[in-house]
Structure 1
Amino acid sequence: MSMFCNQCEQTAKGTGCTTIGVCGKQPEVSALQDLTIYALRGLSLVALAAREKGIIDAKIDEYTAKALFTTLTNVNFDPARFDVYVREIVAHRKALAARAGVDFSEGPAAFEPASTLDGLVAQAEIGSVTAGAEDADIRSLKQILLYGMKGVAAYVDHAAILGQTDAAVFGFLHKGLAAGYDGVARDLGAWIELAMECGRANLRAMELLDAGNTTTYGHPVPTQVPLGHRKGKCILVSGHDLKDLFELLKQTEGKGIDIYTHGEMLPTHAYPELKKFPHFYGHFGTAWQNQHKEFPAFPGAILFTTNCIQKPQASYAANVFTTGLVGWPGLVHCENHDFTPVINKALELPGFTDDVPGKTVTVGFGRNTVMSVAPAVIDAVKSGAIRHFFLVGGCDGAKPGRNYYTEFVEKTPADTVVLTLACGKFRFFDKDLGTIGGIPRLLDVGQCNDAYSAIKIASALAEAFNCGVNDLPLSLVLSWYEQKAVAILLTLLAIGIKDIRLGPSLPAFVTPNVLKFLVDNFNIKPISTADEDLKAILG
């Protein structure tokens, strides 16, 4: 069967995956993800109608975000799980419609799932992003909105797990999912406004997640993290979820098992409540796309907590476990934060047989840390010791062209500071750029959602200098791969940030006319070469 998916940066031929996903997604899973979104559109239509009658169901709101999150790149590859989601979505829709006394006779709110998995796959064409014959630019904006909402859903889900929710953000997700099926005629301007609304909703979602992380585990503090290892049994934790990590740390206390982070879990070493565990030791490996090269060398169990999973290779597949929304056919899935299978596997495996200290990297430069030295930073700018700030961050990936970010950071002058976040930093995270007046030139702000911290830092600096953020000596040089990066980009645009450089390639779902709008209104531009971009920025 055929498929079409162009939601990630590595999509085949820069246009779309049509036989199998570059990520490893099979056509069957792609179809089921499309159908999941279509079913969610129906649930959202009913949820909006229920809201008009004063009925807001928090459980359905949170379920909507979870189900949408499962369709994000590198999260769930298990067709059996999507079979369950589609049927649960329809059941929730029918129950809410009965409560609210609403009825839809056609469209996604009247969708009836087939009785078999094969039948669901056959139905999926109704939810394809290529369905319909609308204007190409409107289709482009619909995709930008959908992919942005997937990013919002990820952050909203993480925040809800930590008890932080906002009905308004869920209300937007329902509004965005219903758009195109709600009977409202929208021109290009209206779809652009919806995309900007998505950006504003994502800012709130990141704020909620920040509150959940910091009130539960404390504000990050500068922390040195070993990149080597020490003798002993071990578990490697990948993904993004702090609660999963915390629960694993509790369950492994006193068992002689060291916990290592992978990928975007690196910044978790800076949280005070996680740092308290003496067996929370170090970091192993780099970004998500290198796991096939790196995981065969890890002598313990491996746990995936959110997205970033790739097809496990035979050499280590038996050691890989999933939890939460992550799914891969045949892997053991841990429910309700019970990591007993992971622990047992770690005790069974040999673990590291020697001590290899290796390098260290420093993490923990969130907004609280940076703003605690704000007077020194401001004085350094005024004196000329700091000429410019660069925010170089975003997603990493395997597609050629990403060495640009390594070269760019290496070539930044000694009187500039580089802030970084998300897994794009693994192109240069272990570089020693030195210091300026005791302030490290390379500051790790955190995970991708910590773009919220970066925005707060920029806003505080703008206030200190009595200017707008766009007037600061600050340049954003971003890399994208998946849909959380789309959501963050929409947030930056929605709050008026201009002159962003984006790479390594522009999204396949952005048409020339939509790109022209972004260039004309925000001066967004593709990266060129490190030398050319540094010259253009610094003069």
Structure 2
Amino acid sequence: MFCFQCEQTAKGTGCTKIGVCGKQPEVAALQDLLIHALKGLSLYAVKAAEMGHRDEKMDLFTCEAVFSTLTNVDFDPARFVELIAECEAYTKALKEKTGLSLEGASCTCAGKSQAELVALGEGVGIKADPTLDEDILSLRELLVYGLKGLAAYADHAAILGQKDPAVFAFIYEALAATLDSTLGVNDLVGLCLKCGEVNIRAMELLDAGNTGTYGHPVPTVVPLGAKAGKAILVSGHDLKDLDLLLKQTEGKGINIYTHGEMLPCHGYPELKKYDHFYGHYGTAWQNQAKEFDAFPGSILMTTNCIQKPKETYNDRIFTTGLVGWPGVSHIGDDKDFTPVIEKALASEGFPADTDKDTVMVGFARNAVLGVADKIIDAVKGGAIRHFFLVGGCDGAKPGRNYYTDMVEQIPQDCVVLTLACGKFRFFDKKLGDIGGIPRLLDVGQCNDAYSAVRIAMALADAFDCGVNDLPLSFILSWYEQKACVILLSLLHLGIKDIKLGPSLPAFISPNVLNVLVENFNIAPTGTVEDDLKAALG
């Protein structure tokens, strides 16, 4: 195997024996084969679209299949065998519909065993062509990883009924482009930036789905302690799964807690109305083994972020949607959470109330822009000197204490915006306020990056300047491919001087990095003192 799509990849170069995430070589090969098959499907999908043929069911399948290969989503080889078979069926149907036989889109997986598919996957992986130019490989992989993040957002949006054919069309276009040997560096750079542009549309759709269904988040105090009684913990990102679980647990004497990126769900009016939706438990995804082990109830994993479960809670953890781990009970498309509920009722639950302080959530775009005049006056009056967007993915690799130290050392006349699970390095810090404006504003999940973009653009409009001219610094942490596509979105918007850490992506070649540095002045995080000095002048 060879995989270097995440920040924690082995030795900073690539996982070759087993994924740092826990991915086995067999799963890595099947994921490689699935992406290869999806590229072939995309060749036909592009031609079919030119002939006026479009299949929304296939569009949704493609997003789900691409999303399934994102880090920490699905580790179950049997599920990938099914996805590969479905992909081949769609490809054959398009081949018949178009009457074409396209090079690079052959269907060779039908009837093959899992072992045979693994062998095929080993022949089409990232390093399959040792003669491929380093920079072309780098940009193709950057594009594919951007597409994995884009597909995730498009899938989240589609679950809530928000779809745009243009988003699906680009996914096909870009996947097909990675097979085109005539495309050079400039062509691929353009496609990567277009991926960022299309992702803004996908995040806009997701924002519309979340706020249209559950209301705009409002500032909300969330307890970090527990309430005596039976309990279910929900991790991942999916608001609809949480909503369905809350409905199915009403009146059953079970309290629902969020974990990880589900924390911002407490700010949505249509979710916070449930009396048994109590509080938040734990921190970021990489701490789940310890935190899940100590949780005295059942656990539901939605979307990505799962790690190998410990035996001590293997019978209490459930997956749903695209998440999968071999041997873990999976809740299917019917979303009947009865097994999760029954396991919670059979578990001991929390024996007593505990008080572990609180945090504030709900500072998405509507809440922040609702006090925009107050913020603008504070900036013009000198009360607020600078804004720092400190956020992104958290992880276990050394070096991430930088983000805690940064937030602690940011001067008292500055405001910190944060989003995604990177905030768990400092989410419970008491930073105070500036004239009633909290100094730490939780914008939401990584899925809510659109809110941060809208806030920045609104402030730029208010001050009649570009985003790069604002007293605003982007200090980002990354781990997986949603972070990759958010970075591409920021680059599409022309945002410069981004600090990225704790290390730069292994899949970025030196020459491609030089392009990013020359055009966007992107740089790795340094010392807190130096980065603060650069930001504040």
TM-score in terms of structure 1 length: 0.98
Instruction: Give the AA of the match of 1:430.
Output: D
Equivalent in the alignment of 2:292: 295
Equivalent in the alignment of 2:79: 81
Deviation at 1:506, TM superposition (A): 0.3
Preserved contact between residue 43 and residue 90 of structure 1 (Cα < 8 Å):
yes
The CA distance in 2 between the partners of 1:352 and 1:392, in whole Å, is 34
Equivalent in the alignment of 2:11: 13
Helix, strand or coil: the match of 1:391? strand
Equivalent in the alignment of 2:519: 521
Equivalent in the alignment of 1:476: 474
Helix, strand or coil: the match of 1:346? helix
Q: Deviations over 1:266-289 (max 9, x none)?
A: 000000000111000000000000
Equivalent in the alignment of 1:438: 436
Deviation at 1:101, TM superposition (A): 3.0
The CA distance in 1 between the partners of 2:66 and 2:410, in whole Å, is 39
Equivalent in the alignment of 1:29: 27
Decide which of 121, 140, 158 is 2:118's aligned counterpart. Answer: 121
Equivalent in the alignment of 2:135: 137
The CA distance in 2 between the partners of 1:209 and 1:322, in whole Å, is 22
The CA distance in 1 between the partners of 2:526 and 2:112, in whole Å, is 51
Equivalent in the alignment of 2:233: 236
Equivalent in the alignment of 2:187: 190
Deviation at 1:115, TM superposition (A): 1.6
Equivalent in the alignment of 1:317: 314
The CA distance in 1 between the partners of 2:289 and 2:187, in whole Å, is 43
The CA distance in 2 between the partners of 1:298 and 1:210, in whole Å, is 31
Helix, strand or coil: the match of 1:189? helix
Residue 420 (str. 1) matches residue 406 (str. 2): no
Instruction: Give the AA of the match of 2:322.
Output: L
Equivalent in the alignment of 1:487: 485
Decide which of 337, 357, 372 is 1:359's aligned counterpart. Answer: 357
Residue 164 (str. 1) matches residue 162 (str. 2): yes
Equivalent in the alignment of 1:253: 250
Equivalent in the alignment of 1:274: 271
Helix, strand or coil: the match of 2:315? helix
Q: Deviations over 1:64-101 (max 9, x none)?
A: 00000000000000001001010011011112322333
The CA distance in 2 between the partners of 1:78 and 1:290, in whole Å, is 21
Equivalent in the alignment of 2:49: 51
Equivalent in the alignment of 2:502: 504
Higher alpha-carbon deviation: 346-355 or 95-104: 95-104
Structure 2's unaligned 5+ residue stretches are none
Helix, strand or coil: the match of 2:156? helix
The CA distance in 1 between the partners of 2:395 and 2:81, in whole Å, is 29
Q: 1:109 to 1:207 in 2, by over 3 A?
A: farther
Matches within 5 A, 1:428-467: 428-467=426-465
Helix, strand or coil: the match of 1:390? strand
The CA distance in 2 between the partners of 1:403 and 1:18, in whole Å, is 28
Higher alpha-carbon deviation: 92-101 or 249-258: 92-101
Preserved contact between residue 114 and residue 120 of structure 1 (Cα < 8 Å):
no
The CA distance in 2 between the partners of 1:205 and 1:102, in whole Å, is 31
The CA distance in 1 between the partners of 2:112 and 2:396, in whole Å, is 39
The CA distance in 1 between the partners of 2:355 and 2:271, in whole Å, is 21
Equivalent in the alignment of 1:108: 105
Helix, strand or coil: the match of 2:349? coil
Preserved contact between residue 138 and residue 507 of structure 2 (Cα < 8 Å):
yes
Q: Deviations over 1:434-490 (max 9, x none)?
A: 000000000000000211000100100000000000000000000000000000000
Decide which of 342, 345, 350 is 1:344's aligned counterpart. Answer: 342
Matches within 5 A, 1:84-95: 84-95=82-93
The CA distance in 1 between the partners of 2:100 and 2:354, in whole Å, is 64
Instruction: Give the AA of the match of 1:313.
Output: K
Decide which of 376, 387, 390 is 1:389's aligned counterpart. Answer: 387
Deviation at 1:112, TM superposition (A): 3.4
Helix, strand or coil: the match of 1:318? coil
Higher alpha-carbon deviation: 470-479 or 332-341: 332-341
The CA distance in 2 between the partners of 1:226 and 1:127, in whole Å, is 49
Higher alpha-carbon deviation: 404-413 or 336-345: 336-345
Preserved contact between residue 114 and residue 123 of structure 1 (Cα < 8 Å):
no
Deviation at 1:536, TM superposition (A): 1.5
Helix, strand or coil: the match of 1:317? coil
The CA distance in 2 between the partners of 1:358 and 1:407, in whole Å, is 22
Residue 39 (str. 1) matches residue 37 (str. 2): yes
The CA distance in 2 between the partners of 1:314 and 1:334, in whole Å, is 19
Instruction: Give the AA of the match of 2:331.
Output: C
The CA distance in 2 between the partners of 1:200 and 1:295, in whole Å, is 37
Deviation at 1:422, TM superposition (A): 0.2
Instruction: Give the AA of the match of 1:173.
Output: I
Structure 1's unaligned 5+ residue stretches are none
Decide which of 58, 61, 71 is 2:59's aligned counterpart. Answer: 61
The CA distance in 2 between the partners of 1:101 and 1:163, in whole Å, is 33
Q: 1:113 to 1:13 in 2, by over 3 A?
A: farther
The CA distance in 1 between the partners of 2:518 and 2:421, in whole Å, is 29
Deviation at 1:102, TM superposition (A): 2.8
The CA distance in 2 between the partners of 1:331 and 1:283, in whole Å, is 24
TM-score in terms of structure 2 length: 0.99
The CA distance in 1 between the partners of 2:351 and 2:458, in whole Å, is 48
The CA distance in 2 between the partners of 1:313 and 1:112, in whole Å, is 34
Q: Percent identity, aligned pairs only?
A: 67
Deviation at 1:179, TM superposition (A): 1.2
Aligned Cα RMSD in Å? 0.9
Instruction: Give the AA of the match of 1:56.
Output: R
Helix, strand or coil: the match of 1:286? coil
Instruction: Give the AA of the match of 2:502.
Output: P
Decide which of 218, 222, 225 is 2:219's aligned counterpart. Answer: 222
Equivalent in the alignment of 1:204: 201
Deviation at 1:113, TM superposition (A): 3.9
Helix, strand or coil: the match of 1:258? strand
Deviation at 1:114, TM superposition (A): 5.1
Deviation at 1:108, TM superposition (A): 2.9
Instruction: Give the AA of the match of 1:255.
Output: K
The CA distance in 2 between the partners of 1:359 and 1:32, in whole Å, is 45
Deviation at 1:184, TM superposition (A): 5.9
Deviation at 1:407, TM superposition (A): 0.2
Equivalent in the alignment of 1:329: 326
The CA distance in 2 between the partners of 1:184 and 1:7, in whole Å, is 22
Helix, strand or coil: the match of 2:441? strand
The CA distance in 2 between the partners of 1:211 and 1:101, in whole Å, is 39
Instruction: Give the AA of the match of 1:213.
Output: N
Preserved contact between residue 137 and residue 188 of structure 1 (Cα < 8 Å):
yes
Instruction: Give the AA of the match of 2:501.
Output: G
The CA distance in 2 between the partners of 1:221 and 1:362, in whole Å, is 10
